Structure 1
């Protein structure tokens, strides 16, 4: 559809309805939040899909899920709604209001990969906003989010029962990799997991998704985790162990992206197909991000797109 024709036909109610259904995953829940009837919500979505010329949502008895086109459209629709709320907040706030505080949660393996570039972009727009970053396991971040201790989290999808009342927006998918120092005895050629297991290994702590994938990798090859391993949530400790010895660090690819690019670490040649981890934004489903949160969310989306 031509751009001008799209602008003349689409309305904010279309975007608001679509974002609400995408966040709740259910027409009935979205209708309750929007204070509309379910047929009215369905009609609005049909109008939007007719305007866009694509199916954005797949409807079913269990709920609604985004199509690939819907996922792409959601990023822009959410940004429009966030900008609208930000515009309202900008004129409603008192001129002498204190600087805002944005509370962000992040997995230890995700924080160094996603946050630095996104925060740099955010800081250019909102230099007076204080950002508090808290790291923890996925379960801990979900608990903080439910308790209102953080505004958003960069984390992973959890079990369905843990996700009730929360929304998850996929940012990117990253595999588990084996990182070592340049010049490691196993670097530069295809290897087997048996060969890697002969060296000291560094893995994530028990109960984390990277740890689960690492265990699955060993189990699928009929191997047990080596006894003399180091288990830690500390990215800085893991990096130092890999850089200054022969330890092999099993970690999500994004954690060592910059280290590999800068030649500080290298990746072993070992297929890890099936060990991919979805990383995304977690928020309370019923909440609308404020002006600062919306800006950081958009910066994180841009950074995820760049990394993809």
Structure 2
């Protein structure tokens, strides 16, 4: 009887409300997104939890967090909307070109290299599509992907417990580089060591990120520690400007500033960074259907990654 009651009482507005709260993590923001009042959102959520006979969110001053039951509900709720999209596609209700949307999550260090050129190619066949790009560290991006906020993520493989329900497709592997401006005192020096490097102002990724871990591991392998005077940032634009204007050294994948290196504005110091290789790839939800427009952007990214790989890696 409980299943029959659930089927009879559940409505799409309940699903939309639940997903908005799960993706925003806040009832007020969910209300803004759905153009409803917060009391209306609270009422709809209360109805849904009554229908489901369980608590789907833990609410406090920090926002709304999914309960274990809410996590299970989320996975299937996304499937409901995707199934409806598939039905509309099957009967010819394709979205108008101007309403096609691709939501992608991108690591800043990866996106600066691939996304601009990929979008230029993508626009040739989808000039009216809307592309929404969200940048963050890898862990928040995976949360967005699991919550359905983004269609896919251009990022890195994570620990197994974070990859539940997700798939990873390797695009390429890239080690860290020690980047400086062309006029940096060490750019033309010979016999530069990591000891010389850490005496300079350093720019590194924040703690908890893969590039930061690789940076610390590289130094530790040579008996060194990351000094306390570092500048920590995920922002490619800020790090790039600091590099161009100061004698700072940036620990980052060289692809992040590929064009600057090609033009001679920045250079990579001849220091071995073997062992810092980072796998970069596409992350998708294992149980999700990707829209045709998102598939086209994925195809472009795969093509570009293939062009970037060395002949021996293909």
Fold equivalence (TM over 0.5): yes
Once the two structures are TM-superposed, the CA of residue 91 in structure 1 deviates from its matched residue by: 7.3
- Listed as ranges, the matches of 1:201-240 within 5 Å are 201-240=202-241
- Listed as ranges, the matches of 1:275-286 within 5 Å are 275-286=276-287
Partner of 1:146: 146
Partner of 1:114: 114
CA contact (8 A) 2:203 2:251 kept: yes
Once the two structures are TM-superposed, the CA of residue 253 in structure 1 deviates from its matched residue by: 2.0
Once the two structures are TM-superposed, the CA of residue 288 in structure 1 deviates from its matched residue by: 2.2
CA distance in 2, matches of 1:274, 1:171: 18
Relative to structure 1, is the Cα distance of residues 213 and 96 closer, same or farther in structure 2, using a 3 angstrom cutoff? closer
Secondary structure of the structure 2 residue equivalent to 1:283: strand
Relative to structure 1, is the Cα distance of residues 100 and 225 closer, same or farther in structure 2, using a 3 angstrom cutoff? same
TM-score by length of 1: 0.69
Partner of 1:299: 300
CA contact (8 A) 2:175 2:274 kept: yes
Partner of 1:26: none
Once the two structures are TM-superposed, the CA of residue 271 in structure 1 deviates from its matched residue by: 0.2
TM-score by length of 2: 0.68
Secondary structure of the structure 1 residue equivalent to 2:171: strand
Q: After superposition, give the CA deviation of every residue in 1:239-278 in whole Å (9 maximum; x if it has no partner).
A: 0111111000110121021110111211111000010000
CA distance in 2, matches of 1:264, 1:256: 10
Partner of 1:33: none
Q: After superposition, give the CA deviation of every residue in 1:29-68 in whole Å (9 maximum; x if it has no partner).
A: xxxxxxxxxxxxxxxxxxxxxxxxxxxxxxxxxxxxxxxx
Secondary structure of the structure 1 residue equivalent to 2:226: coil
Secondary structure of the structure 1 residue equivalent to 2:295: helix
CA distance in 1, matches of 2:268, 2:282: 27
Once the two structures are TM-superposed, the CA of residue 93 in structure 1 deviates from its matched residue by: 2.6
Partner of 1:24: none
Structure with max Cα Rg:
2
CA distance in 1, matches of 2:174, 2:263: 19
Q: After superposition, give the CA deviation of every residue in 1:178-231 in whole Å (9 maximum; x if it has no partner).
A: 110002111133421001111100001111110100011111111111121100
Structure 1: runs of 5 or more not aligned: 1-84
Partner of 2:125: 125
- Listed as ranges, the matches of 1:149-168 within 5 Å are 149-168=149-168
CA contact (8 A) 1:190 1:268 kept: no
CA contact (8 A) 1:122 1:296 kept: yes
| RMSD of Structure 2 on Structure 1 (CA) | 1.9
Moved over 4 A (4+): 88-91, 94-98
